[in-house]
Amino acid sequence: MAGIDLSVNISGVDFKNPLIVASGPPTLSAEHVLKCIRAGAAGAVTKTITYDVTQQVQPKPRMLVVNPEDALRNRFYSLYSIDLMSEYRPELWLRQISEAKKEAKAHGGVIIASIAGRTFEEWEKLAKLVEEAGVDMVELNLSCPHLEKNVLMGRAVSSSPEKVSEILKTIKKATSLPVIGKLTPHGANPVELARIMVSSGVNALVSTARFQGLIVDLETMRPVSWGGFGGYGGPWQIPISVSWTAHIAMERLGVPLIGSGGVSKWEDAVQLILAGASAIQVCTAIMINGLKIIPEILRGIEEWMVSKGFQNIADFSGTIIDRIVPLEKLERRKRFRLYIDAEKCVKCGVCIRVCPYGALKAVNTASIPEPEQEECDNCGLCLSICPRRAISFKE
Ligand SMILES: Cc1cc2nc3c(=O)[nH]c(=O)nc-3n(C[C@H](O)[C@H](O)[C@H](O)COP(=O)(O)O)c2cc1C
Ligand code: SF4
Ligand code: SF4
């Protein structure tokens, strides 16, 4: 679109637009990474490269869509899965990336290697190896929801700030590439983690990743499908990801943020950018809707920018931060009168049912509810649930 520049710079690396494909099945090999870049993504993060063989062999089955009908319509759904790390040995990745590099560059695509070590020495070795392969950036998997106990990777290590700091310092000594730290929202405070990572030399942060869940079958009384815990994420996660992104942005730590966790539409991407992200990562939505959502999301961002008169991502990145009203300053005194539009109301009775104060009453099921203005506490619940948008406040 004329006049619109979607490019962003993250820690010295140029991205032609703000959409990066996150580490996962869409990037399970270098050819997959290339497919993402050919589809228009500015960059892609490889599936996490590790020497841990228990992470390289995938459980079968390992993926389950909760609310599949909604997933196919791109509404709220969840992806529950126990997809582990890359099944390819690091040395195979080295070869694959070296070969893919040229084509990625021709498309202006950035290759980011996700790595995870079991020891500080392994973290160091992997960082050196991916730099040798020719990647543009390194991302540290400090977020994998499946890792829980006493290991130096995934969300397990994120509960030990000293170890996270030590990993970062090790990596920064091993490579001159910009390093991205991936934050977990599960069992750790992402804002605290972000601070620790920044003080240990991280160059950019991903906020945030998935949670761990457990879904139980009531018939067998066992966990469903593969029988254990699983990662749990999807479009429902967006407000949580936007909130963490805003909280981290408010700290003004001086490193770029990459917003992630539940992006499935351009609106999600714009929200994350408004909350302080410079770019966004997407994984689950590409798995469910295919690579076509990459240009769709980018087109949506562009059209929205045109409608708002923005030319660059930086024009609106983080602009809502100063508009977030803190708890102690929220409006409490103003009172509204509640109106019901008789033309729109279909007498479904939902507003009567949900009102916590019993402020809506109807003479019978065939009549329009009537508000008791004195009893209405202006909570807003009936307004937002009315299927006909028939209820409004007037000052
Ligand atoms: C099936 C699956 C496999 C994933 N594998 C990895 C991985 O190997 N390494 C990693 O850092 N993140 C992995 N992730 C997490 C994603 O990179 C991403 O952080 C997370 O899913 C949130 O983004 P999304 O809502 O766009 O999927 C995986 C996610 C899914 C759904
Ligand atoms: S929820 Fe809306 S449509 Fe239903 S009774 Fe109340 S005002 Fe009418
Ligand atoms: S705004 Fe809240 S308190 Fe007032 S009628 Fe609606 S649900 Fe009840």
Q: Where are the domains of the chain?
A: 8-323, 331-394
**Euclidean distance between CA atoms 272 and 320, whole angstroms:** 10
**Euclidean distance between CA atoms 78 and 84, whole angstroms:** 18
Asked if residue 79 lies in contact with residue 72, where contact means CB atoms within 8 angstroms, the answer is no
- Confidence grade of residue 16 (pLDDT, cut at 50, 70, 90): very high
Helix (H) or strand (E) holding 129: helix 120-133
For the chain, percent of residues with pLDDT exceeding 70: 100
Q: What is the pLDDT of residue 176?
A: 98
Q: What is the pLDDT of residue 187?
A: 82
Asked if residue 272 lies in contact with residue 242, where contact means CB atoms within 8 angstroms, the answer is yes
Mean pLDDT of 318-345: 97
Q: What is the pLDDT of residue 260?
A: 98
Q: At what angle do helices 238-250 and 266-274 cross, to 10 degrees?
A: 20
Query: Is residue 376 annotated as a catalytic residue, yes or no?
Result: no
CB of 348 within 6 A of ligand 2: the answer is: yes
Among all ligands shown, which has an atom nearest to the Cα of 341? 2
As given in the structure block, the two tokens for residue 203 are 């160059």
Chain segment 85-118, per-residue pLDDT in tens: 999 999 999 999 999 999 999 999 999 999 999 9
As given in the structure block, the two tokens for residue 245 are 């992104």
The residues with which 135 forms a beta bridge, in sequence order, are none
Q: Which of 36, 284, 286 to mutate to test the pocket of ligand 1 (most atoms within 8 A of CB)?
A: 284
As given in the structure block, the two tokens for residue 353 are 């049912």
Q: Is 342's pLDDT higher than 80?
A: yes
Chain segment 53-76, per-residue pLDDT in tens: 999 999 999 999 999 999 999 889
**Euclidean distance between CA atoms 62 and 83, whole angstroms:** 6
Ligand 1 midpoint to CA 209 (Å): 7
CB of 82 within 6 A of ligand 1: the answer is: no
User: CA nearest 286: which of 305, 307, 301, 265?
Assistant: 265
Ligand 1 midpoint to CA 47 (Å): 8
The mean pLDDT value of the chain amounts to 97
Chain segment 172-203, per-residue pLDDT in tens: 999 999 999 999 988 889 999 999 999 999 99
CB of 233 within 6 A of ligand 1: the answer is: yes
Of the listed ranges 183-197, 254-268, 302-316, the least confidently predicted one is 183-197
CB of 339 within 6 A of ligand 3: the answer is: no
CA distances from 123 to 75, 78, 116, 132, 262 (A): 38, 32, 6, 14, 28
The CATH code for residues 331-394 is 3.30.70.20
Closest residue CA from atom 3 of ligand 2:
345
- Confidence grade of residue 344 (pLDDT, cut at 50, 70, 90): very high
Ligand 3 midpoint to CA 371 (Å): 8
Q: What is the pLDDT of residue 200?
A: 98
Among all ligands shown, which has an atom nearest to the Cα of 213? 1
SS (H, E, C) 143-194: CCCCCCCCCCCHHHHHCCHHHHHHHHHHHHHHCCCCEEEECCCCCCCHHHHH
The residues with which 222 forms a beta bridge, in sequence order, are 217
Closest residue CA from atom 12 of ligand 1:
23
**Euclidean distance between CA atoms 215 and 225, whole angstroms:** 9
Asked if residue 194 lies in contact with residue 251, where contact means CB atoms within 8 angstroms, the answer is yes
What are φ and ψ of residue 144, in 5° steps? -50, 120
The residues with which 92 forms a beta bridge, in sequence order, are none
Q: What is the pLDDT of residue 186?
A: 87
For the chain, percent of residues with pLDDT exceeding 90: 96
**Euclidean distance between CA atoms 95 and 105, whole angstroms:** 16
Closest residue CA from atom 4 of ligand 2:
348
CB of 369 within 6 A of ligand 2: the answer is: yes
- Confidence grade of residue 157 (pLDDT, cut at 50, 70, 90): very high
Nearest atom in ligand 2 to the alpha carbon of residue 346 is 3
**Euclidean distance between CA atoms 100 and 134, whole angstroms:** 10
Q: What is the pLDDT of residue 51?
A: 97
- Confidence grade of residue 3 (pLDDT, cut at 50, 70, 90): confident
Asked if residue 167 lies in contact with residue 136, where contact means CB atoms within 8 angstroms, the answer is no
Q: Is 236's pLDDT higher than 90?
A: yes
Nearest atom in ligand 1 to the alpha carbon of residue 281 is 26
Angle at CA of residue 176, ends 275 and 37, nearest 5°: 55
User: CA nearest 190: which of 124, 257, 123?
Assistant: 257
Q: What's the first-to-final CA gap in the chain, in angstroms? A: 41
Tell me which DSSP letter residue 334 carries: -
Q: What is the pLDDT of residue 1?
A: 74
The CA-based dihedral angle spanning residues 383, 384, 385, 390, taken in that order and rounded to the nearest 10 degrees: 40
CB of 290 within 6 A of ligand 2: the answer is: no
Of the listed ranges 146-150, 210-214, 227-231, the least confidently predicted one is 146-150
CB of 379 within 6 A of ligand 2: the answer is: no
CB of 350 within 6 A of ligand 2: the answer is: yes
Residue 153 CB partners (closer than 8 Å, separation 6+): 50, 52, 116, 117, 118, 141, 142, 144, 147
**Euclidean distance between CA atoms 206 and 241, whole angstroms:** 10
Instruction: For residue 212, give the 3-state DSSP assignment.
Output: strand
Tell me which DSSP letter residue 61 carries: S
Closest residue CA from atom 22 of ligand 1:
261
Give the predicted TM-score (pTM) of the model: 0.97
Superfamily of structural domain 8-323: Aldolase class I (3.20.20.70)
Mean pLDDT of 218-241: 97
Give the pairing of strands 19-21 and 279-282: parallel
Nearest atom in ligand 1 to the alpha carbon of residue 206 is 19
CB of 369 within 6 A of ligand 3: the answer is: no
Ligand 3 midpoint to CA 333 (Å): 16
As given in the structure block, the two tokens for residue 199 are 């003080």
As given in the structure block, the two tokens for residue 352 are 């009567």
Region class of 71: left (phi > 0), else alpha (psi between -120 and 50), else beta: alpha
**Euclidean distance between CA atoms 37 and 103, whole angstroms:** 9
Ligand 3 midpoint to CA 250 (Å): 33
